[in-house]
């Protein structure tokens, strides 16, 4: 076993994801199967290889930085228009701090 149900619950917690008990059981089996396949990576000798985090081209790095100038924004009314609960241009959430 590469991953236990206990670890699945821990990772779900990190991911802010509520899983049912049935989902936890199934997830443990499926992730185990996938992680076992991923172990193929250990066959590859990667000594001296730089990790590739982005597709890079031969362009000067600064070429992708645009000029820093102000521009109109959406505004808070439009930006909050899709929120489940919003008021006065703010997102509303359950109580965070006890009074």
Could you give the angle at which helices 21-38 and 5-14 cross, rounded to 10 degrees?
Answer: 100
3-state secondary structure of 71: coil
Count of beta carbons in the 10 Å neighbourhood of residue 28: 19
Residue 55, classified by CB atoms within 10 Å of its CB into exposed (0-12), middle (13-18) or buried (19+), is: exposed
Q: Which of residues 1-20 bind another protein (CB under 8 A)?
A: 3, 7-8, 11-12, 14-20
Residue 13's region, left for phi above 0, alpha for psi from -120 to 50, else beta, is alpha
**Total number of residues that touch another protein (CB under 8 A):** 55
Q: Which of residues 22-81 bind another protein (CB under 8 A)?
A: 23, 27, 30-31, 33-35, 37-44, 46, 49-55, 57, 59, 63-66, 74, 78-81
Least CB distance to another protein at residue 39 (A) = 8
Question: Counting contacts by CB under 8 A, is residue 87 touching another protein?
Answer: no
Contacts with another protein by CB under 8 A lie at 3, 7-8, 11-12, 14-20, 23, 27, 30-31, 33-35, 37-44, 46, 49-55, 57, 59, 63-66, 74, 78-85, 91, 93-96
């Amino acid at each position: 076993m590469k991953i236990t149900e206990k670890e699945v619950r821990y990772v779900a917690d990190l991911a802010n994801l509520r899983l049912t008990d049935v989902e936890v059981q199934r997830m443990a089996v499926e992730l185990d199967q996938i992680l076992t396949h991923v172990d193929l990576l250990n066959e590859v000798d990667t000594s001296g290889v730089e990790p590739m985090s982005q597709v890079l081209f031969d362009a000067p790095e600064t070429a992708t930085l645009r000029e820093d100038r102000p521009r109109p924004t959406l505004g808070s009314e439009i930006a909050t228009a899709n929120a489940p609960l919003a008021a006065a241009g703010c997102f509303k959430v359950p109580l965070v701090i006890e009074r």
